[in-house]
Amino acid sequence: MIFHPVSNIKDKDEFIELINIYCRLVEVMAERNRMPVTNIKTISDSIVNELSDMGIITRVEDLSLLKKMLDKTYDRFINAVSFYINNSTVFGTLLDKLSNKKRASLQSREQNSDKPIVVDFFAGAGGLSLGFIDAGYRICFANDFEDVCIRTYKYNHPEIPSSRILQADIRKIVDNIPEYIKEDVDVVIGGPPCQGFSSANQQRIIDDPRNELYKYFIKAVTSLLPKIVVMENVRGMLKVAEQVVEDYRRISVEKDGDTYSYDVAYKLLNSADFSVAQNRERLIYIAVRNDVATKQGITPSEIFEQIELSNEQNERFPLRDALEAIKPLDAPRVKNQNEIDSETCGKKIDVNGYTGTDNEYLELINFNREMPIVYNHKARYVNDINYDIYKMLNQGDDAADPKIADIMPYAHRLHCFKDKYYKLIADRPSRTITAHLRMDCHSHIHPFQIRALTPREAARCQSFPDDYFFLGAYLKTYMQIGNAVPPIMAYKIATILKQYLS
């Protein structure tokens, strides 16, 4: 469920955020269709029923609690609900994600499907899951530690029961996996954080305490015994690649008279080869259970060969394609404006003046769907010095460029901060989108406009569809996007794997 009843609120901030999203979606659709949202004076039975279907109230008396909770937002929300009821055909399925009843219906259909079943550990905002879902899989359980990632994941995946999307430390749930996952799992996916890659270690690097979450991922695989495992990580994990292979090959489980083990292979893959408009190298591990490998006559190495062969047919898209067909923006020049919507600097939810299918890249990431609304397209604050730097740099220039030598704030540490400022090149795939963008975006300066990439533009570079909405504070949207697996990359890997799950 996306909503808890107002009489039993679990998280007031999340509740208020969802209410504001609902209001804004209605207002944007009203603006798009040039229809006014009128003020109503009485609460009709249809409004009460709609609020009940959404999961916000369980009885009429809860309206007083709702009014107290929302305060000045109450009238705005009730007017929005009334507008939706009277103009539901305008919305299609746009508001279904904000209705417990409609989510439950979707989840019931999904539960009764015969799709391959996936578990996603360290799911983040859901990029890897999205790729597998688009390829025809069903996620039965997802887990992450970050609250804001879970909120984004729940919102964008209404087909998954919220109770199966768990905010928790994997270390606290891995010993009780059967309590959370009661189905036979076809695929386990995830990207456990691994940070301790010092070559000076005198022990197995993968045993570094900073890498302990990886061990719990292996432990979860051992418990679930999926047919296939897909594990994603940063290029730096190459240092421990063979140690990871050893750990997978150590898995040996007796179950129902059979012994299960895994063959595993790894490959450094670049998202640009999967038609993602971004150079993003990631180390991918694929492990196949022994009985599946025998039955299907396949090895992980051969699967990688198929992936690379398939990539030869893929078109490569430049950054320019990801930045087309989206409203030009100005960077705010006053501090603390990131959360404030404006016509010139952007809005968290706004009318899309384009179709969402305006070029081949947008057709690909949006699966040929039209997008009436644009999300998370807000420019970031830039101070006077950085504005001048952004303006002076040409595409491909970085912090070492002599044009900015006299104003570059980090000139005395240029050996460390050469990439601190970088103007992206429009006719090449974007440089890697990283979670560091939450700190500053100087490394991803827009090639044509005097500002950094917006979260939506970064999400496009990651191949997220334009209707994938990142919840939470503005700067945290960059973190969610930068940590994600490109959905199109995941989709194409998942499509190849699917033939071996029959």
* CATH architecture for the domain at 319-473: Alpha-Beta Complex (3.90)
Give the whole-angstrom CA distance, residue 179 versus residue 128.
24
Q: Which residues, in sequence order, are bridge partners of residue 144?
A: 167
For 347-402, give the DSSP string: EEEEE-SS-S-SSHHHHHHTTT---SEEEEEEPPP--HHHHHHHHHPPTT-BTT-G
| Amino acid (1-letter code) at residue 387 | Y
As given in the structure block, the two tokens for residue 411 are 């000139």
Q: Which of 23, 140, 149, 194 is catalytic?
A: 194
The boundaries of every CATH 3.90.120 domain in the chain are 319-473
Residues 6+ apart with CB under 8 A from 273: 308, 311, 314, 316
The boundaries of every CATH 3.40.50.150 domain in the chain are 102-314+488-498
**CATH topology for the 102-314+488-498 domain:** Rossmann fold (3.40.50)
Yes or no: say if 8 and 329 are a contact pair by the CB < 8 Å rule: no
Give the whole-angstrom CA distance, residue 87 versus residue 462.
34
Yes or no: say if 485 and 127 are a contact pair by the CB < 8 Å rule: yes
Give the whole-angstrom CA distance, residue 153 versus residue 144.
10
Put simply, whether the predicted model's pTM sits higher than 0.85 gets the answer yes
Yes or no: say if 386 and 335 are a contact pair by the CB < 8 Å rule: no
| Phi, psi (deg, nearest 5) at residue 318 | -85, 165
Yes or no: say if 192 and 233 are a contact pair by the CB < 8 Å rule: yes
Digits of tens for pLDDT over the chain (502 positions)? 999 999 999 889 999 999 999 999 999 999 999 999 999 989 999 999 999 999 999 999 999 999 999 999 999 999 999 999 999 999 999 999 999 999 999 999 999 999 999 999 999 999 999 999 999 999 999 999 999 999 999 999 999 999 999 999 999 999 999 999 999 999 999 999 866 543 444 456 666 665 788 899 999 999 999 999 999 999 988 988 999 999 999 999 999 999 999 999 999 999 999 999 999 999 999 999 999 999 999 999 999 999 999 999 999 999 999 999 999 999 999 999 889 999 999 999 999 999 999 999 999 999 999 999 999 999 999 999 999 999 999 999 999 899 998 998 876 666 666 678 999 999 999 999 999 999 999 999 999 999 999 999 999 999 999 999 999 999 999 999 999 999 999 999 999 999 999 8
As given in the structure block, the two tokens for residue 391 are 């303006």
416 a catalytic residue: no
Distances (CA, A) of 119 to 9, 256, 283, 465: 28, 22, 20, 22
